[in-house]
């Protein structure tokens, strides 16, 4: 595998030299889409039980009133704000996903740059650039340790191990670090990289990107102050790539920087669960709507899915919300029984619903390597002997059927509706789309306090 001997320095040099005008229009717009999506997720998740627990535990130790806690009308220190805001953005598993690396890049980066922007005033144009560069770094680095020809272990959470480096890069850009100093920030963040998939099904799942946000912002601040690290933290012997991949390919990180943009392969979720479940939800919702399907008449549901779907989400009877986020059987059953798939379908009430639980027992899923990750074949056998078949070739939210700007706005409105005043939602969405026209980026997040 290719292992550029200067990968860390090449990445840092590109970040330092980049200017807003370097982003092609398509990349600029995709960065805005990612920002709109992730801020909506953060508002919607800000009052979740896991966020309440984290804030209650950390509040007695929080520092100066420097940065806004999204959706809470409260301010705290930069590092605590970055952790809580990234946790809010990730807690419903509604965040964005890179189509190849299956990493969720935006939450750690967004949380770090918004917190820093309240302490160190920057223009919206500069914040959008830093955000785009941070997201790009997360996606590229994740590919370098997990996407063929690279080969990594599925045990690592990509969002946990790469999100902090993306946050460090973005924060370092706003702090105007030079190349050697940004290399140190990358190294400090790499030394704190962590995240293991055994945590899926618990509150530690969204805590991994939350920890990444805080670690990345802290790394940039420590590097600025003079803390040292290896200048070859990504490619060096016993460095990041060697630790997190059986067969890394750092050319995927540094080749064509500024020419090829991985953010263009970012996708957005219409349903609050693991992305590999989305094709099944699409198919079941279509069948339910078209045939007025009565779950009591269903004898069995047979699903053929990409092997990754079963490897990550084969949980027939989840115990609680966080296990339900990664339960193929639960979301398939809920879509049929309730005819929808939103936040309410991940509640304890839905999980414990006897009709949903009964249908979960009648779902048979098999792995089929010929089926793409965004596809599925569904066969519903009815008790009257009839058979319904649905093939989904590209689910909503995939690269081939991306969510539109309008669909992202509807998602934002739905998520924010229970947290902030309804009259403030549309102006806030408008300001997000116009982020790069704001003279002071902090105006956006401070508007949440009004």
Full-prediction pTM beyond 0.85? yes
Instruction: Locate the domains of the chain by residue range.
Output: 7-268+404-449, 275-392
Chain-centre distance of CA 196, in angstroms?
15
Q: Which fold has domain 7-268+404-449?
A: 2-methylcitrate dehydratase PrpD (1.10.4100)
Query: What pLDDT, in 10s, does the model give residues 126-152?
Result: 999 999 999 999 999 999 999 999 999
pLDDT at 1 > cutoff 60? no
Query: What pLDDT, in 10s, does the model give residues 343-373?
Result: 999 999 999 999 999 999 999 999 999 999 9
User: Would you say the CATH fold of 275-392 matches that of 7-268+404-449?
Assistant: no
Query: What pLDDT, in 10s, does the model give residues 166-208?
Result: 999 999 999 999 999 999 999 999 999 999 999 989 999 999 9
Q: Which fold has domain 275-392?
A: 60s Ribosomal Protein L30; Chain: A; (3.30.1330)
Query: What pLDDT, in 10s, does the model give residues 32-42?
Result: 999 999 999 99
């Amino acid at each position: 595998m290719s292992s550029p001997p200067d990968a860390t320095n090449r990445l840092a040099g590109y970040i330092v030299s980049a200017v807003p005008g370097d982003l092609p229009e398509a990349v600029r717009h995709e960065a805005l889409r990612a920002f709109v999506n992730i801020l909506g997720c953060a508002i919607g998740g800000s009052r979740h039980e896991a966020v309440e627990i984290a804030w209650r535990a950390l509040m007695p130790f929080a520092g100066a009133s420097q940065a806004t806690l999204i959706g809470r009308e409260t301010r705290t220190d930069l590092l605590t704000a970055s952790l809580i805001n990234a946790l809010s953005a990730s807690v419903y598993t509604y965040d964005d996903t890179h189509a190849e690396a299956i990493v969720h890049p935006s939450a750690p980066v967004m949380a770090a740059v918004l917190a820093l922007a309240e302490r160190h005033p920057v223009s919206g144009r500069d914040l959008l650039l830093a955000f785009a560069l941070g997201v790009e770094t997360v996606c590229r680095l994740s590919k370098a340790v997990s996407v063929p020809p690279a080969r990594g272990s599925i045990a690592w959470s990509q969002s946990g191990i790469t999100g902090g480096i993306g946050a460090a890069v973005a924060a370092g850009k706003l702090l105007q670090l030079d190349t050697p100093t940004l290399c140190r920030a990358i190294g400090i963040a790499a030394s704190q990289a962590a995240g293991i998939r055994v945590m899926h099904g618990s509150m530690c799942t969204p805590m991994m990107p939350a920890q990444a946000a805080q670690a990345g912002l802290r790394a940039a601040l420590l590097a600025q102050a003079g803390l040292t690290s290896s200048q070859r933290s990504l490619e060096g012997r016993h460095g990041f790539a060697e630790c997190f991949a059986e067969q890394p390919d750092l050319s995927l990180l540094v080749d064509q920087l500024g020419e090829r943009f991985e953010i263009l392969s970012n996708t957005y979720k219409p349903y609050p669960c693991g992305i590999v479940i989305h094709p099944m939800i699409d198919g079941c919702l279509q069948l339910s709507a078209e045939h007025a399907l009565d779950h009591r008449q269903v004898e069995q549901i047979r699903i053929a899915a990409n092997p990754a779907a079963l490897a990550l989400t084969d949980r027939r009877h989840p115990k609680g919300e966080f296990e339900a986020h990664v339960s193929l059987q639960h979301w398939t059953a809920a879509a049929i029984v309730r005819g929808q798939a939103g936040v309410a379908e991940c509640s304890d009430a839905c999980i414990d619903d006897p009709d949903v639980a009964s249908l979960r027992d009648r779902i048979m899923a098999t792995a089929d390597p010929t089926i793409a990750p965004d596809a599925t074949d569904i066969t519903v056998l009815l008790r009257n002997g009839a058979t319904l078949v649905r093939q989904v070739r590209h689910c909503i939210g995939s690269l081939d059927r991306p969510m539109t700007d309008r669909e992202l706005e509807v998602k934002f409105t739905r998520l924010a509706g229970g947290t902030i005043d309804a009259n403030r939602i549309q102006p806030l969405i408008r300001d997000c789309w116009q982020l790069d026209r704001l003279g002071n980026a902090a105006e956006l997040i401070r508007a949440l306090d009004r």
